[in-house]
Structure 1
């Protein structure tokens, strides 16, 4: 029978999440992880598998904890409110006082070599899913007469998600929440009629 773990798995996962969020996948070494989690490499492997598995678990935690605003936005009754809530959520997550700047999805993928191709693909798949859900919601809004028939929901969803990614990149560069909220307000002034 093995020895019981001497650390809290949830707390360790939260620390790993913060480290990956701040430094990206490739910018976070095993030494960084073991130091931040206060555990040895064998303990890390026993608890989480390898670095890639730990990152995937951290990414799941990130979506469950921080990205819940996406579901809330998609549930809004009007298309404009969907987009406004979504963009506001990205601004808040990217400029949180208790979290690193930017987003784990963007920070984790900005620099990925061929060795980390599976991580880049995972992050891309998550972004594509978010865009697909928005496209479907805008399509439903168009069918209900709440979104202009002349505007392609797929193109508009791509525009919104490109803006959301840009907000995260700008936050990483130090742009303030107030300034990013002004960007969102400007984008919403261009709402199609």
Structure 2
């Protein structure tokens, strides 16, 4: 499964061929189908593995006592994960099938839903921050969650472009300056 994940992460859903997968896993195409079903099924299994790894690396940050600190740690963990050496750069959730043919519509929809759940996680953290008095009462939590989701996705694109972790963290420092201050 690691080989399939690496291929999908580096080439995306459509860019990864059945031959790529068969060669990486060390089986022929019929054995690939027998073991995993369709290419889409294999992608979804690889996506589950990716989410498990990314989630265990970054999601606990959102539980820090301070919502602001938790969000910042979460974004930094994402940047570190997405720019780590010895793995593909960027984020499978962002690059996996952002655009594609009708054949990849289901995969694109699944990834869109997963990205939306990431924004929902951020929103939940911000809501906690609002309840704890870390944000002004008139803060538009939905808009702020979408903003930090966009920052996260942008960091992913920058990581895929080869921007080093240190520079990604500098970008996050700038983004965190947009945290609304309580007066």
Where does residue 164 of structure 2 map in the other structure?
176
CA contact (8 A) 2:54 2:78 kept: no
Inter-partner Cα distance in structure 1 for 2:71 and 2:120: 14
In structure 2, list runs of 5 or more residues that go unmatched: none
CA contact (8 A) 1:69 1:89 kept: yes
Where does residue 98 of structure 2 map in the other structure?
110
Where does residue 148 of structure 1 map in the other structure?
136
Runs of 4+, deviation exceeding 3 Å = none
Where does residue 163 of structure 1 map in the other structure?
151
Number of equivalences: 181
Other structure's SS at 1:67 match: helix
Other structure's SS at 1:55 match: helix
TM-score when normalising by structure 2 = 0.94
What is the correspondence of 1:1-193 to structure 2 with a 5 Å cutoff?
13-193=1-181
Inter-partner Cα distance in structure 2 for 1:87 and 1:137: 12
CA contact (8 A) 2:67 2:128 kept: no
In structure 1, list runs of 5 or more residues that go unmatched: 1-12
CA shift for structure 1 position 77? 0.9
CA contact (8 A) 1:136 1:153 kept: no
User: Which structure shows the bigger proportion of residues in helix conformation?
Assistant: 2
Supply the RMSD in Å over aligned alpha carbons: 1.2
CA contact (8 A) 1:79 1:147 kept: no
CA contact (8 A) 1:26 1:111 kept: no
